[in-house]
Amino acid sequence: THPAASAPSPSPISSAGGDSHAVTRTLHGDVLVIAIDNPPVNALGVEVRRGLLEAIEAADADAAVAAVVIVGVGRNFIAGADIREFGKPPQPPHLPAVCDRIEASTKPVVAAIHGAALGGGLEVALAAHYRIAAAGAKLGLPEVKLGLLPGAGGTQRTPRLIGARAALELMLSGRHASANEALTLGLVDRLSKTDDILIEGLAYARELVATRQGTRPTRAANGLADEAASRAAIEAARKETATRSRGLFSPLKIVEAVQAALERPFDEGLALERRLFLECLDSPQRAGLVHAFFAEREAAKVPEASAARPRPIASVGIVGGGTMGAGIAVAVLDAGLPVTLIERDEAALGRGRAHVERVYDGLVAKGRIDAKAKADAMARLAGSTSYEALANVDLVIEAVFEDMAVKKAVFTELDRVARPGAVLATNTSYLDIDEIAGATSRPADVIGLHFFSPANVMKLLEVVVPARVAADVVATAFEFAKRLSKVSVRAGVCDGFIGNRLLAVYRTAADYLLEDGASPYQIDEAMRAFGYPMGPYQVIDLAGGDIGWAARKRRAPTRDPRLRYVEIADRLCERGWFGQKTGRGFYLYPEGARTGVRDPEVEALIEDERKRRGVTPRSFTDEEIVERLMTAVVNEAANIVREGIALRPLDVDVTLMHGYGFPRYRGGPMKYADTLGLANVLASLRRFEKEDPLFWKPSPLIVELVDRGADFSSLNTTRG
Ligand code: 3H9
């Protein structure tokens, strides 16, 4: 509901002149309500900042006003600074000044919070003198996720209000706190008893006036009084940040700003915060993270989703209870939907159920959910060994063995039992979905839903769109993804779709380096330094070398014989060195250790392969390693966009960030390429092309964009 709409008989303030559209002022008796009305989320754009400043000044000057309530119209209080303004010249009034003015008000100011009070939104609330929050409110300082720090007094006021430890934890994690937690922390003073936050805020303000409680500037709060504890918290945060946020720019600046809060007068701390904020604002990491923020939202805007209405999904069937099927079942159960799991016999069904149960046991053990939540989820899970049990479900997701004949057999059965209009989805990661759809009499209902393992954890869902699928089935898939809290990307049909096709190229480029002289350990280290959580060979060891081996054998008959093929990984697999699960792969894992150590036998084996192939090893710098791997990925990604497999470059970015560990602060490979300059990427390609014209052939899309002086971002228009 519209909080301001339920206000008791509003009357315009006498000196209201200059009321902006985004900020309205209404006098309720002697309490002035300042309502922020800037859809969709009340971001603090220049108009809101101006309106807020004018309103607070007017209130101060108006003898008829005894107290002020700031409230948000719509679903949120204020979601923070307007992210779309970043990177453009900042326009006054700046938010820090607006917050200071609120705090300096001579009349008590109450922030009445419902929905999101995030970033600059929470900073506005912290500048107010009193805070009341509705039950469902979400409060947080998520700036770190955008490569920023709270830049409107948040780094100075938050620790003064709730102490250094809690403030640092909020700012470094960027997480949202519930209203209850905010009360416990001291971030808010009280909780609203009803859903009508405006009425409650007004009551609070009237109570303050009646009991003659004046202003209460947060800058004077004493949360940092225990100096030793504050100092310890700051040192602990600095240490943890150095390891946990490796490579990130803004977290250390947050710690620095909080240290200033402890050691310096408030205004000096504010000045330092402003300087650090502007440094963060200028950083390429901020640009990458803001790109990521919008790309995730844009990716779900696909032509089918705006052209067609999704079909309702109230029940889901899953065929196959292996690791993938069980993970998908958990993801669906977590969204509150009932699941029917199908396996070929009772034993397999029992294992599938146990799989699902184990995932929930893990969540209970970690304290993420309680026993009741587990029981509720498990109660939504049914199982059967007969396809007939799927007769009434709205959506079936097939997650059986990755083999065309097996998949086709499943879809023939689904075609037989499913009700007309049911959506039939396959979780294949590379097979031709058009062919799978051809096994049914209803190809318009068949789509790909490519989950990533573990499916209940990984955010990415590739929605793979075969030629004959109906638009409303595509729309249904995107709606379903939203219900599962997934980040969804539209992909076309090809071997590996977007993600795995790029993974293959990434690994091939790494293998070339390996054979040409780099060690797997150097390659992994270089890619970690670039920002990946793991290097390519660590990932192979983790997933199991046998998986890639099977795929290589499968592709062998169709492989282009002119393409260079490196056999090092095959040599390892022939020895049964499949990675962590066998105790050795590219690394040695002594006694089940999870982090591997370098293996001299692997190095000797690589050396033998080089000799056998007549390669004279050369050395590569870490920068060259990154350059080659990233250039290969960007080039193939350009082909993927050109072929329409990805709608836009941003779809590639989202896929690699959420499914493959590409460092978010670089905004994905396409954003990274734009940052480098596409002409530089093309120059690298031309250089490598001389070594291997087939693998390094520049994508015509890159050539064309460079010719036009354009870059990938020019293709990132919304397709919704
Ligand atoms: C900051 O505050 C800096 C200050 O410390 C210092 C300043 C000096 N700006 O997510 P949704 C758009 S940094 C502009 O789908 P939900 C979004 O793009 C900021 N636009 O909805 C989308 O647009 P479209 C700190 C924004 O209900 C639409 O709103 N704040 C902003 O799932 C709906 O968004 C944050 O980082 C924004 N700030 O979730 C909070 N926020 O319809 C970021 C959203 O055209 N926002 N949009 O695609 C969020 O976390 C979520 O949007 C929120 C709502 C939880 C609020």
Looking at ligand 1, which residue's alpha carbon is closest to its atom 55?
Answer: 116
Closest CA to 649 of 619, 675, 680: 675
pLDDT at 711 over 70: yes
- Give yes or no for residue 377 CB within 6 A of ligand 1: no
CA of 301, closest atom in ligand 1 = 48
Looking at ligand 1, which residue's alpha carbon is closest to its atom 42?
Answer: 40
Q: Is 435 a catalytic residue?
A: no
Q: What percent of the chain has pLDDT over 70?
A: 97
70 CA to centre of own chain = 31
Angle at 100 between CA 98 and CA 101, to 5 degrees: 65
Residues 6+ away with beta carbon under 8 Å from 198: 3, 4, 6, 7, 33, 69, 71, 112
Q: Is 123 a catalytic residue?
A: yes
Q: Count H helices, E strands: the chain?
A: 29, 20
Q: What is the pLDDT of residues 174-215, one digit of tens each?
A: 999 999 999 999 999 999 999 999 999 999 999 999 999 999
How many CB atoms are located within 10 Å of the residue 691 CB?
11
Q: What is the pLDDT of residue 592?
A: 65
Contact 21, 47 (CB under 8 A): yes
Q: What is the pLDDT of residue 20?
A: 61
Q: What is the pLDDT of residues 602-660, one digit of tens each?
A: 999 999 999 999 999 999 999 999 999 999 999 999 999 999 999 999 999 999 999 99
Residues 6+ away with beta carbon under 8 Å from 649: 637, 641, 670, 671, 712, 713, 715, 716
Closest CA to 695 of 478, 484, 513: 513
Peptide bond into 40 cis (omega under 30): yes
pLDDT at 19 over 60: no
Q: What is the pLDDT of residue 720?
A: 55
Q: What is the pLDDT of residue 654?
A: 98
Please tell me which residue in 143, 296, 515, 636 is annotated as part of the active site.
Answer: 143
CA of 142, closest atom in ligand 1 = 36
Confidence of residue 14 (pLDDT cuts 50, 70, 90): very low
Confidence of residue 412 (pLDDT cuts 50, 70, 90): very high
Buried b / exposed e over 219-243, threshold 16 CB at 10 Å, is bebebbeeeeebeebbeebbeebee
ipTM for the whole predicted complex goes beyond 0.95? yes
β partners of residue 33? 26, 69
- Give yes or no for residue 82 CB within 6 A of ligand 1: yes
For residues 321 and 329, give the distance between their C-alpha atoms in angstroms, rounded to a whole number: 8
- Give yes or no for residue 48 CB within 6 A of ligand 1: no
Per-position DSSP letters for 63-113, written without gaps between them: TT--EEEEEESSS-SB--B-GGGTTSPP-SSPHHHHHHHHHT-SS-EEEEE
Q: Beta strands 11-12 and 23-28: pairing type?
A: antiparallel
**Spacing, Cα 400 to ligand 1 middle (Å):** 39
Q: What is the pLDDT of residue 17?
A: 43
For residues 48 and 518, give the distance between their C-alpha atoms in angstroms, rounded to a whole number: 55
For residues 563 and 695, give the distance between their C-alpha atoms in angstroms, rounded to a whole number: 7
Q: What is the pLDDT of residue 554?
A: 85
Confidence of residue 3 (pLDDT cuts 50, 70, 90): very low
Please tell me which residue in 54, 57, 85, 123 is annotated as part of the active site.
Answer: 123
Q: What is the pLDDT of residues 560-579, one digit of tens each?
A: 999 999 999 999 999 999 99
Six-digit token pair at 675?
């940052």
pLDDT at 5 over 50: no
Residues 6+ away with beta carbon under 8 Å from 32: 13, 25, 26, 55, 58, 59, 62, 65, 67, 68, 69
- Give yes or no for residue 119 CB within 6 A of ligand 1: yes
**Spacing, Cα 82 to ligand 1 middle (Å):** 7
**Spacing, Cα 41 to ligand 1 middle (Å):** 6
Closest CA to 543 of 449, 625, 429, 626: 429
pLDDT mean across residues, the chain: 95
Looking at ligand 1, which residue's alpha carbon is closest to its atom 43?
Answer: 79
Cα–Cα distance list, 185 to 169, 363, 464, 674 (Å)? 12, 25, 45, 42
Q: What are phi and psi of 667, to 5 degrees?
A: 75, 10
Q: Which helix (H) or strand (E) holds 250?
A: helix 250-263
Question: Residues 256-279: what's their mean pLDDT?
Answer: 98
Q: What is the pLDDT of residue 550?
A: 87
Question: Residues 143-152: what's their mean pLDDT?
Answer: 98
Contact 416, 386 (CB under 8 A): no
pLDDT at 308 over 60: yes
Looking at ligand 1, which residue's alpha carbon is closest to its atom 44?
Answer: 41
Six-digit token pair at 278?
């502007």
Question: Residues 21-40: what's their mean pLDDT?
Answer: 97
What DSSP designation does 11 have? Answer: E
Question: Residues 72-78: what's their mean pLDDT?
Answer: 97
Residues 6+ away with beta carbon under 8 Å from 322: 352, 355, 399, 400
Question: Residues 281-285: what's their mean pLDDT?
Answer: 95
Question: Residues 223-249: what's their mean pLDDT?
Answer: 94
Q: What is the pLDDT of residues 329-374, one digit of tens each?
A: 999 999 999 999 999 999 999 999 999 999 999 999 999 999 999 9
Q: What percent of the chain has pLDDT over 90?
A: 91
Length of the chain: 720
Q: What is the pLDDT of residues 491-547, one digit of tens each?
A: 999 989 999 999 999 999 999 999 999 999 999 999 999 999 999 999 999 989 998
Looking at ligand 1, which residue's alpha carbon is closest to its atom 18?
Answer: 294
Q: What is the pLDDT of residue 444?
A: 98
For residues 90 and 551, give the distance between their C-alpha atoms in angstroms, rounded to a whole number: 52
DSSP three-state, residue 246: coil
489 CA to centre of own chain = 13
Strand arrangement of the beta sheet that strand 176-178 belongs to:
116-118, 138-140, 176-178
Q: What is the pLDDT of residues 77-107, one digit of tens each?
A: 999 999 999 989 989 999 999 999 999 999 9
For residues 42 and 383, give the distance between their C-alpha atoms in angstroms, rounded to a whole number: 46
For residues 250 and 149, give the distance between their C-alpha atoms in angstroms, rounded to a whole number: 6
Strand arrangement of the beta sheet that strand 381-384 belongs to:
381-384, 339-342, 316-319, 395-398, 423-426, 446-451, 460-465, 487-492
Question: Residues 430-444: what's their mean pLDDT?
Answer: 96
pTM of the model: 0.93
